[in-house]
Amino acid sequence: MVKNVGTNFRKPTIYTAEEFSELMNTNFDSAFHLCQLAHPLLKASEQGSIVFISSMASLVSLGTGSPYAARKAAINHLTKNLACEWAKDNIRINCVARGTTRTPIVEHRL
C-alpha cells in the first residue's frame, strides 16, 4: 500500500482553524486511519508493505509552512512506530521523504 496524498497552503504560518484541520486530516489522519483499515489485509498476506510519502520539509526548514512540516514529521514518526509494532505481523513500513533537486533542466524550465 502506498499512501501518497497531501495538501498544503503556501503562505505564512497564520492559518484558520479550518485550514489547520484540513492539513491535519489530509496529511496525517488519513494515513493513520488507512493503516488501521489495511492492517488485517496486510497481515493476512503475510508479506504486507506500506510506503508513506513524506517530505524533506519534515527534516529541514524549506519555507513550506510549519503546520505542513509538522504533519510530515508526524508521518515519519508514525512510520517508525508502526514498523516496530507491526514487524511481528510481517508488515514492512517505510517512508520516502521526497524533495526536489535543481538541475540545469529544472533551472531552464523555471
Residues serving a catalytic function are 68
**Helix orientation angle between 30-45 and 66-86, rounded to the nearest 10 degrees:** 20
E strand or H helix at 87, and its extent?
A: none
Neighbours of 51 (CB within 10 A): 14
Angle at 97 between CA 58 and CA 92, to 5 degrees: 115
End-to-end CA distance of the chain: 33
Which helix (DSSP H) or strand (DSSP E) does residue 105 occupy? Answer: helix 104-109
